[in-house]
Structure 1
Amino acid sequence: MTIYTGKTEEAAIAAGLTALNSRRDQVIIKVVATPRKGWLGIGRRDAMVDVVLKTVAVASSATPEPQSVASSSMASSTTPVKTAVASAEPVVAEPATDEAPTSSEPTVTPQERRKRREAAIESVQDYLATIVEQLGIDATIDVEAGAHRQVRLVFTTDKEGLLIGKHGRTINALQSLAQLFLNHHGAAHVELELDVANYRERRAATLSRLAESTAREVVATGKPIYLDPMPSFERKQIHAVLSKNRYVTTYSAGKEPHRAVVIEPA
């Protein structure tokens, strides 16, 4: 196995192609590890890929053939050259087109996908526990299954404020990291939520009050109002609260991480 690394999978593959002086269609690529950005430098990891020439892979699978060459040449001493040529033909790289898809695109059953999701959820708990410990927070994590493909990880700690952070920035950052972790570990369709001390419920009530009071101000002044930047799941709550208000309309503006909800007269 020859491992090549890079900040992204494509960068690692490019390093392998450069080292082998080959094109992408001439090699078999296997992703050994996906990259991780980490958080505050913790848990960072480069992408790692195994890049092997197709001709090398085929030649290695045909290693038994030289024995038949030797035996044939010993059995028929009158035509040693023809025997060697005939037995060497299977080493040609033609079978590579049949073997490559099998190694690069394996079939995954629903049962295997479920096992991967369960393993990813267990792994993300260890990942978060490491980060929280580095922050100096002693906490335990419990898993609460929600609706279909929804999972809540609930922290229990005596440093709730430190874990939540100002305006929820710390726990929101942890949630974003955890979601990315799942996306790269076989659980891309799992929607993850982190919570501590019922913060999510209290935050939802605060956002609801904010949406309604801001809508009243917009109607009174006739002018649009930009709310503070929020993560996407909180912006969705604002949109949902005001979706049936016929006097105002809402939309999101700006680029992440400074994207915000705009409330304006209908």
Structure 2
Amino acid sequence: MTETEQETVQAAPDLAALEQEGEIAADYIEGLLDIADIDGDIDMDVEGDRAVVSVVDVKGGDLVGPNGETLEALQELTRLAVHRQTGERSRLMLDVGGFREKRRAELSKLGAKIAEDVKRSGEPKPLQPMTPFERKIVHDAVAAAGLRSESEGEEPRRYVVVLPA
């Protein structure tokens, strides 16, 4: 095996480990839903290099919260539960009721619009503070539009600045 082939094998995500993360996370979320007496179905998937657990058909309770704050907290708790069982840091993503998918579409559109504004004006444009998930989506949209962007500030007030070419 060549060195390049070895790097490719090492870089490939461990599907079995990601599926195990998803199983652990799903069990954890199911337990939380039971405790809170909230009905919902759980879907698991692997997207790229992370496990994705989605609570769908949620009935009762607000698991997203204002601006996704409750969802972020649940995701961190779930990642900790996975870490406790596997000993490995998890990049698991938790979604509830399609919130993250809707947010991804909104932020992609925002990133493209801001990139066009910056192309026209030639001036850098700072955005509102965002979570790491949200900043990544904006960075990708800005890059797709042919510009670059940077994150500035400290958590939880970290934000994206879109820069002219």
TM-score between the two structures when normalised by the length of structure 1: 0.47
Q: Is 1:201 equivalent to 2:97 in the alignment?
A: no
Per-residue Cα deviation, 1:59-115 (whole angstroms, up to 9, x for no partner): xxxxxxxxxxxxxxxxxxxxxxxxxxxxxxxxxxxxxxxxxxxxxxxxxxxxxxx68
Q: Displacement of 1:185 after TM fit? A: 2.5
Q: Displacement of 1:200 after TM fit? A: 2.0
- Root-mean-square deviation (CA, aligned residues, Å) is 2.8
Distance 1:263 1:202, change over 3 A: same
Counterparts of 1:245 and 1:123, CA distance in 2: 38
Counterparts of 1:122 and 1:174, CA distance in 2: 16
Q: Number of aligned residue pairs: give it.
A: 148
Structure 1: unaligned runs, 5 residues or longer: 1-113
Counterparts of 1:137 and 1:262, CA distance in 2: 42
Counterparts of 2:30 and 2:54, CA distance in 1: 12
The residue correspondences of 1:39-58 to structure 2 (distance < 5 A) are none
Aligned partner of 1:250: which letter?
A: S
Per-residue Cα deviation, 1:140-189 (whole angstroms, up to 9, x for no partner): 342412146532222131247x2122222211221122223323321625
Is the radius of gyration larger for structure 1 or structure 2? 1
Q: Is 1:254 equivalent to 2:153 in the alignment?
A: yes
Q: Displacement of 1:206 after TM fit? A: 0.2
Counterpart among 164, 168, 173 of residue 64 in structure 2: 164
TM-score between the two structures when normalised by the length of structure 2: 0.72
Structure 2: unaligned runs, 5 residues or longer: 1-15
Q: Secondary structure at the match of 1:146?
A: strand
Counterpart among 55, 63, 76 of residue 155 in structure 1: 55
Whether the 8 Å contact between 2:125 and 2:163 is mirrored in structure 1 is yes
Bigger RCO (CA 8 Å, 6+ sep): 2
Counterparts of 1:181 and 1:228, CA distance in 2: 31
Q: Displacement of 1:216 after TM fit? A: 2.1
Counterparts of 2:80 and 2:128, CA distance in 1: 24
Counterpart among 203, 228, 233 of residue 128 in structure 2: 228
Whether the 8 Å contact between 1:154 and 1:196 is mirrored in structure 2 is yes
Counterparts of 1:147 and 1:131, CA distance in 2: 24
Q: Secondary structure at the match of 1:144?
A: strand
Q: Is 1:218 equivalent to 2:134 in the alignment?
A: no
Counterparts of 2:100 and 2:27, CA distance in 1: 22
Q: Displacement of 1:251 after TM fit? A: 0.6
